[in-house]
Amino acid sequence: MNYLHHLLNHLRKDLRLEWRSRDSINGMLFFALLVVAIFALAFDPTAYPTTTRQISGGVLWVAILFASVTALNQSWTREQRNQLLDAQRMAPSPASALFLGKALANLAFVLSVEIVLAPIFIIFYNLHALGNVALLALILPLGTWALVVNGTFFAALGLRARNRELLLPLLLFPISLPALLAMVQSTTGILTNDIDPIQIGLWIKQLAVYDIIFTTLCILLFETILNAE
């Protein structure tokens, strides 16, 4: 059985587990909606359309970041139950396939929440993009992958920690700052059309490079994390 089959086996299992329980998606969706609603109530988006357009990229990504933490924390809890992590450690299957399968499943969960969240966000903040909207189709998956790949890794790192719910944001937020900056700047650039398209392109490239570097690091280090006692 080759690597791809192992990866798909893990991915299929994680998607099936979520389909049966819907723990992650429901929690994430309600959390993200609450963050968006609270920001909308804290200031009146319709009264200041220019300011709203300038900050909405940041609000959207902060909502996604906070919401994804709730799902990422849960993703390894299932493996801990019934000592399944031991079964995974003993299986003659590449550890990185387990990691990538879980990261891809998390990507699917967060993206599905974004699909529901985006139209609601546009209505709440009375938004219409002034720049090239098609670029969002590139920024959203790249940005989400940056969050989930590190989040999946750090959630595994904190598995044996007593207060892992707290540990994940403490590790994930600082390390995600370069990616978050690129996501927010490029999204704001598209919404406001204030930023030079070349500059937006540079932010997207920065995001892609960040994804490649951190995906490689996580894959290389995951086996050590999995087998740590």
Report the residue number, 92 or 119, with the smaller CB distance to other proteins.
92
Helices (H), the chain: 3-21, 23-42, 49-75, 77-80, 84-90, 95-124, 136-157, 164-192, 197-227
Candidates 83-91, 116-124, 143-151, 197-205 — which segment interacts with other proteins by CB under 8 A? 83-91
Residue 220 engages other proteins in binding (rule: CB under 8 A): no
Candidates 90-98, 120-128, 187-195, 209-217 — which segment interacts with other proteins by CB under 8 A? 90-98
Residue 226 engages other proteins in binding (rule: CB under 8 A): no
Binders of other proteins among residues 92 to 111 (CB under 8 A) are: 92-93
Residue 83 engages other proteins in binding (rule: CB under 8 A): yes
- The tokens describing 170, both together, are 């403490």
- The tokens describing 13, both together, are 């299992």
| CA-wise closest residue to 210 among 156, 146, 117, 160 | 146
Candidates 1-9, 27-35, 121-129, 192-200 — which segment interacts with other proteins by CB under 8 A? 1-9
Candidates 79-87, 114-122, 133-141, 166-174 — which segment interacts with other proteins by CB under 8 A? 79-87
CB 190 within 8 A of CB 133: yes
Between CA 227 and CA 222 the distance in angstroms is 9
| CA-wise closest residue to 76 among 176, 174, 222 | 222
Number of Cβ atoms within 10 Å of the Cβ of 47: 8
| Count of residues in contact with other proteins, rule CB under 8 A | 22
CB of 16 to other proteins, least distance (A): 7
Residue 84 engages other proteins in binding (rule: CB under 8 A): yes
Binders of other proteins among residues 6 to 25 (CB under 8 A) are: 6, 9, 13, 16-17, 20-21
Between CA 128 and CA 209 the distance in angstroms is 29
CB of 4 to other proteins, least distance (A): 12
CB 200 within 8 A of CB 131: yes
CB of 223 to other proteins, least distance (A): 11
The footprint of other proteins (CB under 8 A) covers 1, 5-6, 9, 13, 16-17, 20-21, 78, 81-84, 86-87, 89-93, 229
